[in-house]
A and B are shown apart, each in its own frame.
Chain A
Amino acid sequence: MKALLLKDFFSMKSQIKWIFFIVLIVIGMSFYFEDAMILLAITLIFGTIQITSIFTFDEMSGWDKFANTLPFRKSEIVKSKYILSLLLTVGILLLVCPFVVYSNYVTDSFKINELFSIICLVVSLSIILLSFIIPTFIKFGTQKARIVLFILVFSLSYGLKFVLDIIALPTLPSVETLQRMSYVSPIFALIILTISYLLSVKLYETKEF
């Protein structure tokens, strides 16, 4: 596992300075627009989708063909992609959190509990996005996966809106209820991530190289 993470880290090395550069620009933007949430949402989602670059590097070099001749289990190869993505998400979160808190302190946009619930929601969104990205890229490859992912996200968003319209909730849940739901959202996201991992392993095991 460490080996696979090292290889992905080396592949990304040339990109890391660009990631930092973009994070710095977004930090600047968040102060300029006095909106800490821009910083949090953009950088986290940006970090999450970095895994697509790794898939692209791997596909361009025919990495999987070679990796499957090395003493790794297929599940290990898949797991390394999830761990790398989670490390990127957590790393970027740790990097931008002090700026988010400081920016929020300066702009006085949210109370601390509101801020925490927003962080929980954005992290959950990143994890759910990741749960869709990895199996889609494994199944379809980098070219088709982007289109499939777009269709998937588009249909899910409109599907959800359609269902909500049908249910037609008489009243929206209270702010307190929504806040409590946001605190547990990362657990929900991690359950989706686990299902996604199991699906990805199955898809990878059926692949031929």
Chain B
Amino acid sequence: MTYAIEVSNLRKKFNQFQLNDISFSLPTGTIMGFVGENGAGKTTTIKCILSLLKKDAGTIKIFGSNIKDDNLTIKEQIGVVFDDIHFPETLTAQQINKFLQETYVNWDTSYYFDLLKQLKVTINKPIKELSRGMKMKLSIIIALAHHPKLLILDEPTSGLDPIVRDEILDLFLEFMQDEKHSILFSSHITSDLEKIADYITFIHEGEILFSENKDVLLYELGIWKGSKEQSLELPTNAKIRSRESAYGVEILVKRNEVSSAFQLDQPTIEEIMLFFVKGVRV
């Protein structure tokens, strides 16, 4: 198996926050949802991957190479989307095309304009006059039009309405038609990730709590609900995390460790996140 991104034992310390031994790998041809609450360390990790921040320790490889060894070649093959478009606001989509034509070897002008047309992004208006949805669509088109192999997305759908988010997710799925393409997708809109992600990596207070196949998470885990007394009947080795609720207790369990006599609900990624953040180890 090849990996688009390999992060191991990444550390980065700030005054009041630190990334602590972050490790995960994004297999080529897959989408990884990178989730966590605000301030958990998602953006810091992404910035370290992109060398926007200098790591204190650990290794980061993109396409098997350390990003510093072959910086420009690797950057030619990456498309990056942040939570806002970071071009001066007086520029238009037309001018951005001229700039990027001179920037990327593989810049595809006709594909760029096709995507602008497909997503109905105005070409001649300055960025400052575009709506947030338009800006984000433009940002994603910019990331796609040089035919990258890897997309690194930091909250690209936050603050967007469901229609625009759906259009954007469709673009990502279209991008993934090529099996050599991969996406690292940071978001706290877990429903987006449930639609498209193959893997979920969950970061909390600067530490990775799990990095797992999405189907394993959704289909091999279950939520049991009942009273505290009833919960004692559950096998101890099946219990992962528990939370108290108004109606008793909810326990995240491993399905294969629990008898079919127990009724289990299928968890969402959001619920799993909540169990890991708010719940207690059982």
Contact = CB atoms under 8 A, between A and B. Distances in A.
A68 B90 contact: no
> Size class of A's contact patch?
20 to 34
A3 B86 contact: no
Contact of A65 (B52, B78, B89): B52
Given A69-B50, A208-B52, A61 B87 contact: yes
* Main DSSP-derived SS at the A contact region: helix
B72 A71 contact: yes
Nearest to B92: A10
A48 B228 CA distance: 74
A68 B103 contact: no
B80 interface: yes
B88 A66 contact: no
A141 interface: no
B47 A209 contact: yes
Contact of A208 (B54, B82, B99, B103): B54
B78 A3 contact: no
A14 B98 CA distance: 17
B84 interface: yes
B100 A11 contact: no
B266 to A, nearest CB: 37
Contact of A7 (B50, B75, B89, B91): B91
A2 interface: yes
Contacts of B101: 3
Nearest to B75: A71
B89 A60 contact: yes
B57 interface: no
A17 interface: no
Contacts of B95: 6, 10
Contacts of A2: 102
A111 interface: no
Interface residues of B, number: 32
Interface string B151-176: 01000000000000000000000000
A59 B80 CA distance: 19
Interface string A49-78: 000000001101111011011111100000
B86 A68 contact: no
Interface in B123-156: 152
B88 A3 contact: no
B78 A69 contact: yes
B99 A209 contact: no
A10 B103 contact: no
A73 to B, nearest CB: 7
Contact of A63 (B75, B86, B98): B86
Contact of B103 (A57, A62, A63, A72): A72
Contact of B90 (A57, A62, A71): A57
Contacts of A71: 71-73, 75-76, 103-105
Contact of B80 (A13, A66, A208): A66
Interface string A116-137: 0000000000000000000000
A55 to B, nearest CB: 11
Contacts of B2: none
Given A71-B103, A72-B103, A60 B72 contact: no
Contact of A6 (B50, B99, B105): B99
B218 interface: no
Contacts of A13: 90
B53 A208 contact: yes
Contacts of B100: 3
23 contacts: A3-B100, A3-B103, A6-B98, A6-B102, A10-B88, A10-B90, A10-B99, A11-B90, A60-B89, A62-B82, A63-B87, A66-B80, A66-B86, A69-B50, A69-B52, A69-B152, A70-B104, A71-B71, A71-B73, A71-B104, A73-B71, A208-B47, A208-B54
Ranked 4 nearest A-B pairs via Cβ: A3-B102, A66-B86, A69-B80, A11-B88
Given A61-B86, A61-B89, A71-B105, 20 more contacts: A3-B101, A6-B95, A6-B98, A6-B99, A57-B88, A57-B89, A57-B90, A58-B88, A61-B87, A63-B86, A66-B86, A68-B50, A69-B78, A69-B152, A70-B75, A71-B75, A72-B72, A208-B52, A208-B53, A209-B52
